[in-house]
């Protein structure tokens, strides 16, 4: 394969590459969001030890930062869906569901309670991941049901 073929391959797969890059970056935002909640479990120890953690740096504004990270995560998830040609089930189920799940978590998590932070850290990722996966699966199944069945090839 020469360089012209490589260029053609990259251009013909640009939507897939864009979707993958957006999805990957969305996952980074999601990871940082959950890590901030996890970091609040150790905030007292970090302060005593002189560790400059993300939780200490943004302590007063953590919920604003979490909201920003959630918006970035959902925006990139939607961009990945757009690049991949996803349908309404993905945008309503995955993006909308993630917005609701993350919004509820950010509103309800008590960042001063180790027990509460742990509960949301462990369960929040399953809730958010579950609605994203459900939206993806629903979109896929709807697309599959609308596609024409392949005709059997006679031998």
The mean pLDDT value for 104-118 works out to 95
- In the prediction, which pLDDT does 98 show? 97
Q: How confident is the model at residue 14 (pLDDT cuts 50, 70, 90)?
A: confident
Q: How confident is the model at residue 9 (pLDDT cuts 50, 70, 90)?
A: low
- In whole angstroms, give the CA distance from residue 122 to residue 114: 12
pLDDT digits (tens, 9 = 90+) for 20-45: 889 999 999 999 999 999 989 888 88
Which domains, ranges and CATH numbers included, belong to the chain? 10-152 (1.20.120.1780)
- In whole angstroms, give the CA distance from residue 84 to residue 4: 25
Query: Residue 110, SS3?
Result: coil
pLDDT digits (tens, 9 = 90+) for 41-74: 888 887 888 888 888 888 889 999 999 999 999 9
More confident residue, 96 or 4: 96
Q: Among 131, 29, 150, 40, which residue's Cα sits nearest to residue 79?
A: 29
Length of the chain: 155
Q: Among 3, 22, 135, 19, which residue's Cα sits nearest to residue 84?
A: 19
- In the prediction, which pLDDT does 152 show? 53
Contacts of 18 (CB under 8 A, 6+ apart): 79, 80, 83
- In whole angstroms, give the CA distance from residue 121 to residue 151: 48
């Amino acid at each position: 394969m020469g360089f012209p073929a490589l260029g053609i391959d990259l251009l013909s797969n640009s939507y897939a590459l864009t979707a993958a890059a957006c999805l990957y970056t969305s996952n980074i935002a999601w990871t940082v969001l959950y890590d901030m909640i996890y970091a609040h479990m150790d905030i007292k120890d970090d302060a005593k030890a002189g560790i400059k953690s993300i939780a200490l740096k943004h302590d007063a504004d953590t919920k604003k930062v979490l909201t920003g990270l959630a918006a970035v995560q959902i925006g990139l998830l939607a961009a990945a869906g757009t690049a991949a040609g996803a349908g309404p089930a993905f945008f309503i189920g995955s993006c909308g569901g993630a917005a609701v799940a993350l919004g509820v978590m950010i509103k309800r998590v008590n960042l001063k309670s180790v027990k509460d932070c742990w509960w949301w850290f462990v369960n929040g990722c399953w809730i958010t991941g579950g609605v994203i996966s459900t939206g993806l699966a629903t979109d896929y199944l709807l697309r599959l049901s609308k596609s024409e069945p392949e005709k059997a090839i006679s031998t």
